[in-house]
Amino acid sequence: MEELYQNYRDVAGIYIVYISEAHAADDRFPVPYATNLNIKEHTTYGERCDVAKRLVADKKLTIPCLIDEIDNGVADAYQALPDRVYLIRKDGTLAIAGNRGPWGFKPALDAAEDWLAKYKATGVEPAPVPLVDARARTREINAKMMSAYRGGDYDNAVKYATELHKLAPRDSGTMYNVACFQCLAGNHKESYGWLQKAIDAGYDDVDHLVADDDFKAIRKEKRFQEIVSKLRNNGEMTQ
């Protein structure tokens, strides 16, 4: 969103709207960043504003940030939880109405960039963009990924897993799969990189990691054992 703002703020009003936390620290299913930053579900508008300011500062954003009221009117009207992209034309009609995140966010953001690029180049508003159901596309790619994996075609398994990552760039399970397939394909350096990305994004199933035969080729390596040890120690500290 920040890059979109920098590239097209001269031709469009671009904003992020901070709404209620989808997975706050006190939620049944908290996400790591909320737990680490102790971001709890907002009880007052002041709390929501304070958290929004912290996140904008932490990410060094310059894109204008609007803040939904505590009654969650914007989130409800736009069905925005956890995140969603909308592009509104001058006449008030929707040029783009993205599917809900995480799966729908990146495709809608890409579509918005294409739309704005055309508008900036021509000065004419393009037609609305019908988006393919991101979940249907995800199921299609996932089926191809698993077929390649089961057939031992690990290079294509990596390819499809990477496509899934683009659709849901914050999903730790997808990053973990890329790490698995990279290892099976013999790309050990890349496997370590993706495994660390998965852990940074919240992957913490250390028992599964240790038992996963996809990492058989590197399981006894010092680097792998250090990752396991660190992950296990982190889990013990947060219990």
CATH of residue 138's domain is 1.25.40.10
Are 101 and 148 within one domain? Answer: no
Structure-token match 């940074």, residue found: 200
* Residue pLDDT, tens place only, 126-184: 999 987 676 777 888 999 999 999 999 999 999 999 999 988 888 899 999 999 999 99
Residue 127 lies in a domain: no
Cβ–Cβ < 8 Å for 39, 45 = no
pLDDT interval class at 235 (50, 70, 90): low
* Residue pLDDT, tens place only, 93-102: 999 998 887 7
Q: Which of 122, 156, 180 is the last residue of a domain?
A: 122
pLDDT at 70: 94
pLDDT at residue 239 is higher than 60: no
Cβ–Cβ < 8 Å for 204, 231 = yes
Are 57 and 150 within one domain? Answer: no
CATH number (domain holding residue 66): 3.40.30.10
**CB atoms near residue 118 (< 10 Å):** 14
CA separation for the pair 157, 165 (Å, rounded) = 12
Structure-token match 């102790």, residue found: 38
pLDDT at residue 238 is higher than 70: no
pLDDT at 136: 77
Query: Given the DSSP bridges, would you call strands 65-67 and 86-88 parallel, antiparallel or unpaired?
Result: unpaired
Residue 128 lies in a domain: no
Claim: this prediction has a pTM higher than 0.85: no
CA separation for the pair 85, 16 (Å, rounded) = 9
CA separation for the pair 37, 49 (Å, rounded) = 15
pLDDT at residue 237 is higher than 60: no
* DSSP for the chain, written as a single string: -HHHHHHHTTTS---EEE---TT-TTSSS--HHHHHHT-PPPSSHHHHHHHHHHHHHHTT--S-EEE--TT-HHHHHHT-SS---EEE-TTS-EEEEPPPTTTTHHHHHHHHHHHHHHHHHHSSPPPP-PPP-HHHHHHHHHHHHHHHHHTT-HHHHHHHHHHHHHHSTT-HHHHHHHHHHHHHTT-HHHHHHHHHHHHHTT---HHHHHH-GGGTTTTTSHHHHHHHHHHHHHHHHH-
Average pLDDT over every residue of 205-217 = 94
Are 168 and 76 within one domain? Answer: no
Are 6 and 64 within one domain? Answer: yes
Are 39 and 96 within one domain? Answer: yes
Are 97 and 187 within one domain? Answer: no
* Residue pLDDT, tens place only, 24-74: 888 877 877 788 888 999 999 999 999 999 999 988 999 999 999 999 999
Average pLDDT over every residue of 88-115 = 89
pLDDT interval class at 107 (50, 70, 90): confident
pLDDT at 166: 87
